[in-house]
Amino acid sequence: RAKERGKSNFQFYTPDMNASALERLRLEYSLHKALAQDELEVWYQPKVELATGRLVGAEALIRWRHPELGLVSPARFIPIAEDSSLIVPIGEWVMKTACRQVREWRERQLFGGRVAVNVSGRQLKFAGVVELVERTLEECGLPSAALELEITESVAMDEDSGMVEVLHRLHELGVYLSIDDFGTGYSSLSYLKRLPVQGLKIDQSFVADLHQNRDDAAITQAIISIARSLGLGLVAEGVELDEQRRYLVEQGCDTGQGYLFSRPLPAAEFEALLERQYLAWD
């Protein structure tokens, strides 16, 4: 912005900009301590079979219990973590915590599905990420097929980064790879040919109105048919209404997650849900 004003280098900060820049700095500073001070938590949201409500998997979602601010949304602090490369240790911690937890649930025969962990581009570019995943699985005694990594579409489309090779090596390890927020970032679908991806997650922005908006319904149908033709697994995100659930089942999307079934839950509450197994949605 300052450049647009020409040669003079004066920058005019509004009190607003000051406040948000300052807040960001404060968050970054306290995020540095969050890991060491045990302020981070992993919550779990069920993935369910849409026709029956049967729980088939889980997505691990990070939460930050800030001493003064309370629960801070990952939408607020993950971008800060990504910019400051704190995402690498934080991401490692999430993966370890989720793998350990799921190993325990598997041993107690409470859970037989996969646990999905979100991975950002910065983490995939970090040297040694494949070894980290391998080591984590070994240490936690979890078979690689029980781990899913969700990668957002914009990251998957990043061609010139060695990312493709990393994804192939993760695939060879036996980890399940899926594209998160599918449909929000693409300009070309050709990356689906290049990458060893097994699943797509329909972005919640399409699911939100699919029962009442023709365009969203059409996009959702197109994604379902892409997944089917390419033999990819499919999960619909953000299913909140029974109408959406029914529409998705009719169109051939078998799996979903969303508030209709359950919000993300702290581990203990998710465990209670595992003990009940079937989720009622109405």
Q: Taking CB under 6 A as the rule, does residue 73 contact ligand C2E?
A: yes
Count CA atoms closer than 13 A to 158's CA, side-chain side.
18
Q: Taking CB under 5 A as the rule, does residue 153 contact Mg ion?
A: no
Give 155 or 195: the residue with its C-beta nearer to ligand C2E.
Answer: 155
Q: Taking CB under 6 A as the rule, does residue 70 contact ligand C2E?
A: no
Q: What's the Cα-to-Cα distance from 59 to each of 29, 47, 99, 267, rounded to whole Å?
A: 28, 7, 11, 12
- 238 touches which of ligand C2E, Mg ion, none (CB within 5 to 8 A by kind)? ligand C2E
- 46 touches which of ligand C2E, Mg ion, none (CB within 5 to 8 A by kind)? none
Minimum distance from residue 92 beta carbon to ligand C2E (Å):
10
Could you tell me the two tokens for 45? 């949201």
> Phi/psi of residue 160, each to 5°?
-95, 55
Closest among 89, 96, 79, 199 to 151, alpha carbons compared: 199
Radius of gyration (Cα) for the chain, nearest Å?
A: 20
Residues 6+ apart with CB under 8 A from 52: 278
Minimum distance from residue 11 beta carbon to ligand C2E (Å):
31
Give the chain's largest Cα–Cα span: 68
Choosing from 64, 142, 181, 195, the residue that interacts with Mg ion (CB under 5 A) is 181
Q: Taking CB under 6 A as the rule, does residue 210 contact ligand C2E?
A: no
Residues 141-200 that bind ligand C2E (CB under 6 A): 150, 180-181
The residues that bridge with 62 in the sheet, in sequence order, are 42
Give 43 or 105: the residue with its C-beta nearer to ligand C2E.
Answer: 43
Q: Taking CB under 5 A as the rule, does residue 118 contact Mg ion?
A: yes
Q: Which residues bind Mg ion (CB under 5 A)?
A: 118, 150, 180-181, 237
